[in-house]
Amino acid sequence: MLKKFMIIPALLFLVFGCSNTKEAAKMAEEKPVIPEYVKDPHSFSRPWEAVVTHLSLDLVVDFEKKTLDGKVSLKIKTKENVRELYLDTGDLSINNVTLGSEETPTEFRLGEKVDLLGRPLIIDILPGTSIVNIYYSTSPKSGGLDWVSPLQTAGGKHPFLYTQSQPIFARTWIPLQDSPGIRITYDAKIKVPAELMAVMSAENPMEKNAEGVYNFNMPQAIPSYLLALAVGNLEFKATGPRTGVYAEPELVEAAAYEFGETEEMIVAAEGMYGPYRWERYDVIVLPPSFPWGGMENPRLTFLTPTVLVGDRSLVALIAHELAHSWSGNLVTNADWNDIWLNEGFTTYIESRIMEEVYGVEYDRMLAVLDKENLIREVKDLGSDSPATRLKLDLAGGDPDDGFTGIPYQKGRFFLTAIERAVGREKWDEFLRNYFDDNAFKNMTTERFIEHLNAELLADNKQLSDSLDVSEWVYGVGLPGNFPEVRSNELAKVSKSASNWVNGGSISDIETDGWTTHHWLQFLRDIPRNASREQMDELNKTFGFNESNNPEILVEWFLLAIESDYQSAYPALEKFLMEVGRRKFLKKLYIKLAKTPEGLNWGREIHEKVRFKYHYSTNLTLDKILNPEKM
C-alpha cells in the first residue's frame, strides 16, 4: 500500500474561521493549500512540496531534425520554505531555466538516470516563486514522439507527427511532473510547416492557416498523460453538433461515416452518468504505427486506422474512449498501480453505452467475447500471478506492464457484479454521484473501496460479504462469484461451428447478417489443431487471408499459427509489416514465440519492421522475443 501525504496547513483553519472573505481569499492566494497526493513510484516529482498547476508551451516542430524546440513556462504552488522544484524528464536537452515573468536566471541540475523513468530535473526556486521557465529541446529518439515518414501515411506526400504520453512518456517531450495524480491546465503556441495542421488535446482549429502557427487552450485540468499533439496534412469534417473527425484527406470521408453515431453515444452516456464536461468530442485518425486502438486525449481522441472497416462494427472503441470522459479523464487513478479505476470503469461504461445505442443482444455478444479474452489472459499470465490482481504493485517496473486485459475486463466484470447485486438503478445513482463528487480529482483503490462501503454497502453486511470486494481487488485469478454472461446469437454461431467440425457441410453455415463478433466467435470455436484440409476449406469459403477487418484477421492468424497453417503466413507477414497496433502485435508475437520456429521467424520479421513500430510497441515486443536480453 502506498503511503499518502496529506498537507493541511494551519492556514486552512484560519481561512475557514475568517469572517472577512476578501481577507481570506488574499491569504489563500499568498499561501496556497497543497492538496493530497500519493507518492508515485514512477515519478521524481514531489507535489506535496511544490506542484505544477498550469503550463504554457511555445514550441517549433522541426521535421528535419525530428525535434521540438522552445520553452515551457510552469505555474507552481509551493509549500512554505520549499527551495527546490522536482520535475520528470526523458532524453531532453535543458538549455536554460529562469524564474518569474522577469526571467531571473536560476540554478538547475539533472539527477542520475533511472531505467524507464528518465532523469529528475531539480530547479532552485525562491519562496514565493510562482512561474518557472524552461528552455529545452527534445531528442529524435524521444519515446513520446513518433515521427512518421510520408511513405507511412495515407497520402504518401507529407510527414506526420503524433505524441503518446501514456503512461509516462509526457516527460520525453515536456519537462513536467509526469504523474497521473497531478492535474494541470495548459495553453500552447505550436509552429509547424505551413502545409500542415497542428491539433492538441485542447480547443482546436478546424482548418489550416497560412502561417502554420496554432494557438491552443485547455481550460479543464488534466493529468500529464493526456497531453497530446498531432501534426499532419489534416482535414476536419463535422459529424454532429459537438463531434467531428480529423484525418488525412484520403481518409476523412470514411472516418466521418464510421464515427457518424458518436453524438448518439454521448447522449446515451450523459443520460446515465451526467453531463459531458469537455465541450467537444472530436477524433483524429492516426497513421498505422499508432500503438493503441485509441487514446482518450480529452476533446480529441486519437484512433488507429484499423477501425475503419466500413460497417461501423468496431465502434465499441469509440464508446470506450468516450467513456473515459467520465472515468479516467474526469476521475483519474492516482498512480498506475490503480489503473483498473480508469480502465475497468471505462470498459463497464462502454458496455452500457453499446447496450443503450445498439441493443441488449449486441452488448451480450461483446460481453461473451470479452469474458473469453479475459480467461485467455488469466491463463497466459497464470491464475496465481500477481499481474491478475486489480490493485497492482508496479514499483520498480514498467507501468506499461499494467496495461493487460486484467484492469479492463476483470475490473469491468467486478462492476457488473456490483450492479447485479444492488440493482441497476441504485448502481447508476451511485456512479453518477461518484463522478460528480470526485470530478477533476485523483482516486486510489483504497479510497474507492471506502467510498463504496460508505455509500452503497455499509448498511448490508450480507450483501458486502457476498460481493467479496477484497477478493476481487486484491485476489489473484478470477473470483468464484464471477458474473455469468450469455449470448443467444453467439450460441447459434458455436452450434454452426460444431456441426461443421463434426463433419457437416460448410455450405450449411448461414453467415448472412454476421457482424465482426459472430466471426470472432466462429473462429474461436474451431479446434486449435485444425487440419490443413479444414483450414483450406475455411479460407477458400470465407476468404480469411484477404479480410480487411483486422479483428477477424488476427483471430484467423492465431488459429493459423496454432494449426501450423503455412498458407496464411504470407498474409500474416504482410499484416505484421503494415499494422502497428500493439494489441494485435502482442497477441501474434506471443503466439509465434511458443515454438522455436515461430520465435525465429517472429524475430526476423520484427527486425525488418521495428522502424515502423512505435517506441512503446518495440519495448513490449522485445520482452516477448528476446526476454533473455531484458
Long-range Cβ contact pairs of 384-388 (< 8 A, separation 24 or more): 384/476, 384/477, 385/476, 386/476, 388/476, 388/477, 388/478
Instruction: Give yes or no: 573 in active site.
Output: no
CA-CA distance, 444 to 181, in Å (whole number)?
Answer: 9
**Phi, psi dihedrals of residue 422, rounded to the nearest 5°:** -100, -15
- Strand partners of residue 236: 246
What single DSSP character describes residue 286? Answer: P
Sequential DSSP letters for 26-66: HHHHHSPPP--EE--TT----TTTEEEEEEEEEEEEETTTT
- Which is catalytic among the residues 186, 408, 565, 613? 408
**Phi, psi dihedrals of residue 111, rounded to the nearest 5°:** -80, -175
151 burial level (CB within 10 Å; 0-12, 13-18, 19+): exposed
The residue type at 581: R
CA-CA distance, 269 to 81, in Å (whole number)?
Answer: 46
CA-CA distance, 64 to 496, in Å (whole number)?
Answer: 56
Instruction: Give yes or no: 270 in active site.
Output: no
Count of residues making up the chain: 630
Contacts of 498 (CB under 8 A, 6+ apart): 525
**In Å, how far from its chain's centre is CA 41?**
19
Among the listed residues 324, 372, 386, the one whose alpha carbon sits nearest the alpha carbon of residue 349:
324
- Which is catalytic among the residues 321, 355, 356, 555? 321
Among the listed residues 270, 306, 271, the one whose alpha carbon sits nearest the alpha carbon of residue 285:
306
Among the listed residues 477, 483, 457, 459, the one whose alpha carbon sits nearest the alpha carbon of residue 469:
457
* Residues with catalytic function: 321, 408
